[in-house]
């Protein structure tokens, strides 16, 4: 009879899970399912490390591309300047004497201390720029027959952005405390992986899907364990997350190929195309789809694993089938709210494009023929499908890890 009673040499272990909050429930997990789960994760970790090694970017290739791309011509500098006075916007929109300009004092460089007038777009003036603010200028050295040109480049926002970042960190630490600190550590690690591995590997011409799956897996190993602690509950969530990443990657490949997307939809991709035309922009887009869904996927899987653990702790007599059914009921509610989150997030990101298209009043079929709109649709649908499928996968993995309940024993008897 398959029961939950421990045999000699095959005793239970207490899994101290870490869910979204409260005291984690204790669930006795037997040795065999524990070893299967952890062994699978170790194997996946080894594959991830091998993938990182094989896909590690070619530094020489990245440096070569960087040398081909120059943001500005030789000799061009970007000095800071203090705003002394702000003129009213010009009525006809064309900057002229007495309107549409900033009076600034240059700080540093060859023109240190010089007070100059620079024209700015009307939207800059509409952003409530005022005396005392700091701006960035672009200084072009004198050419044959021309004088030195000093123009407006951008507004320095270091202080407000720094305050906003500090407020974010303070709020996270104040509310989430140690868990919040670990989440910030995980976020810092994710940033390192993306900047030091994912981006250079893509520039090196590696497969976008493989880079996306490998980089995402590496991130999730660190993020889940640092944020939620080392436990079988977190391990079950991690296994579900890895399954979701894999599914999203596979669906992304078929979706990008099936819709004949080029992956070229903005200025950045066009710049890349001029200096690295051999890159697979379809693969880069597929990689973007995988990474875009990581945060929501992590949230769903950890919630499902926690729900299964809590259900078993609250009702030790429930059979695994009953726990799975109850966990899926929780998961369906979470899916509904999370799908809204994904759609609204993408709608907010593409709001300007949507406003322009609304003015055009083109038929839906015509809109879907554009690269920009189709990319957003594919990104939303692929991420959502991977997210939805991660719920039953995670629930199934977590339930399979649990010990049998009393109802399971009665069925076996």
- Reading the block at residue 355, the tokens are 């406003």
pLDDT for position 405: 64
Domain membership flag for residue 65 = no
Beta strand 115-119 with 101-107: parallel, antiparallel or unpaired? antiparallel
Q: Using CA atoms, how far apart are residues 252 and 247, in angstroms rounded to an integer?
A: 8
Q: How far apart, in Å, do the first and last CA atoms of the chain sit?
A: 6
CATH assignment at residue 49: 1.20.1640
User: Is residue 147 domain-shared with residue 278, that is, in the same domain?
Assistant: no
pLDDT for position 51: 94
Q: Which domain holds residue 140?
A: 80-155
pLDDT for position 170: 96
Domain membership flag for residue 4 = no
Q: Using CA atoms, how far apart are residues 188 and 218, in angstroms rounded to an integer?
A: 13
Helical residues (DSSP H) of 71-126, grouped into ranges: 122-126
pLDDT, tens only, 51-96 = 999 999 887 777 777 777 777 777 788 889 999 988 888 876 566 6
How far, in whole angstroms, is CA 182 from its chain's centroid? Answer: 17
Residue 75: CB atoms within 10 Å? 10
Identify the DSSP state of 10: B
Domain membership flag for residue 165 = no
Domain membership flag for residue 25 = yes
User: Is residue 351 domain-shared with residue 402, that is, in the same domain?
Assistant: yes
User: Is residue 378 domain-shared with residue 289, that is, in the same domain?
Assistant: yes
Domain membership flag for residue 28 = yes
User: Is residue 133 domain-shared with residue 210, that is, in the same domain?
Assistant: no
Q: Which residue, of 155, 189, 210, is where some domain finishes? A: 155
Q: With contact defined as beta carbons under 8 Å apart, do 291 and 215 qualify?
A: yes
Between the alpha carbon of residue 380 and those of residues 44, 255, 372, 387, the distances in Å are 27, 11, 13, 10
**Any idea of the CA torsion for 250, 256, 262, 267, to the nearest 10 degrees?**
-80
The Cα angle at residue 294 between residues 383 and 62, in degrees rounded to 5: 105
User: Is residue 280 domain-shared with residue 198, that is, in the same domain?
Assistant: yes
User: Is residue 220 domain-shared with residue 277, that is, in the same domain?
Assistant: yes
User: Is residue 53 domain-shared with residue 84, that is, in the same domain?
Assistant: no
Domain membership flag for residue 363 = yes
pLDDT, tens only, 227-238 = 888 888 899 999
Q: Using CA atoms, how far apart are residues 45 and 234, in angstroms rounded to an integer?
A: 15
User: Is residue 279 domain-shared with residue 312, that is, in the same domain?
Assistant: yes
User: Is residue 245 domain-shared with residue 376, that is, in the same domain?
Assistant: yes
Q: Using CA atoms, how far apart are residues 384 and 117, in angstroms rounded to an integer?
A: 51
Domain membership flag for residue 141 = yes
User: Is residue 211 domain-shared with residue 287, that is, in the same domain?
Assistant: yes
pLDDT for position 172: 93
User: Is residue 125 domain-shared with residue 261, that is, in the same domain?
Assistant: no
Full pLDDT tens readout for the chain, 413 residues: 334 333 333 444 444 444 444 445 566 677 888 899 999 999 999 999 999 999 998 877 777 777 777 777 777 888 899 999 888 888 765 666 668 888 889 988 888 888 888 888 888 888 888 888 899 998 888 777 677 888 899 889 999 999 999 999 999 999 988 888 998 999 999 999 999 999 999 988 889 999 999 999 999 999 999 988 888 889 999 999 999 999 999 999 999 888 888 877 777 777 777 777 677 888 888 999 899 888 888 888 999 998 988 888 888 888 888 889 999 998 888 888 888 888 888 778 778 777 877 787 878 777 777 888 888 888 888 988 998 999 999 999 989 888 776 655 544 44
User: Is residue 308 domain-shared with residue 229, that is, in the same domain?
Assistant: yes
Domain membership flag for residue 44 = yes
- Reading the block at residue 72, the tokens are 């500005």
The Cα angle at residue 245 between residues 239 and 248, in degrees rounded to 5: 140
Q: Structural domain tally of the chain?
A: 2
pLDDT for position 407: 58
User: In a 3-state reduction of DSSP, which class is residue 57?
Assistant: coil
Q: Using CA atoms, how far apart are residues 260 and 82, in angstroms rounded to an integer?
A: 49
């Amino acid at each position: 009879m398959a029961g939950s009673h421990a045999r000699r040499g095959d005793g239970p272990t207490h899994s101290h899970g870490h869910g979204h909050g409260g005291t984690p429930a204790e669930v006795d997990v037997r040795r065999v399912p524990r070893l299967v789960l952890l062994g699978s994760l170790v194997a996946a970790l080894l594959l991830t490390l091998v993938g990182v090694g094989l896909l590690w970017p070619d530094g020489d290739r990245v440096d070569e591309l960087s040398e081909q791309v120059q943001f500005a011509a030789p000799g061009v500098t970007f000095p800071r300047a203090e705003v002394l006075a702000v003129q009213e916007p010009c009525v006809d929109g064309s900057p002229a004497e007495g309107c549409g300009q900033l009076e600034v004092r240059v700080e540093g460089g060859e023109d240190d201390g010089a007070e100059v007038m620079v024209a700015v777009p009307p939207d800059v003036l509409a952003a409530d720029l005022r005396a005392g603010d700091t701006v960035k200028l672009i200084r072009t050295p004198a050419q044959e027959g021309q004088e030195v040109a000093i123009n407006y480049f951008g507004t320095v926002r270091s202080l407000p952005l720094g305050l906003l970042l500090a407020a974010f960190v303070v709020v996270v630490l104040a509310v989430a405390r140690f868990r919040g600190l670990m989440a910030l550590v995980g976020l810092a690690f994710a940033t390192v992986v993306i900047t030091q591995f994912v981006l250079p590997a893509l520039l090196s011409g590696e497969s976008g899907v493989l880079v996306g799956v490998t980089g995402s897996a590496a991130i999730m190993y660190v993020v889940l364990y640092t944020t939620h602690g080392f436990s079988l509950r977190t391990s079950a969530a991690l296994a579900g997350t890895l399954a979701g990443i894999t599914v999203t990657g596979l669906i992304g490949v078929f979706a990008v190929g099936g819709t004949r997307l080029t992956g070229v939809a903005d200025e950045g991709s066009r710049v890349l195309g001029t200096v690295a035309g051999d890159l697979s922009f379809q693969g880069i887009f597929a990689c973007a789809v995988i990474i875009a869904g990581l945060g929501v996927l992590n949230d769903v899987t950890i919630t499902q694993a926690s729900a299964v653990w809590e259900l078993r702790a609250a009702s030790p007599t429930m059979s695994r089938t009953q726990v799975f059914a109850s966990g899926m009921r929780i998961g369906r509610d979470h899916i509904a709210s999370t799908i809204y989150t994904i759609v609204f997030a993408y709608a907010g990101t593409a709001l300007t494009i949507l406003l322009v298209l609304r003015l055009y009043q083109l038929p839906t079929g015509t809109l879907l023929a554009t690269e920009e709109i189709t990319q957003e649709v594919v990104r939303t649908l692929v991420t959502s499908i991977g997210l939805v499928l991660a719920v039953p996968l995670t629930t199934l993995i977590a339930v399979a890890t649990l010990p049998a309940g009393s109802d399971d024993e009665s069925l076996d008897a």
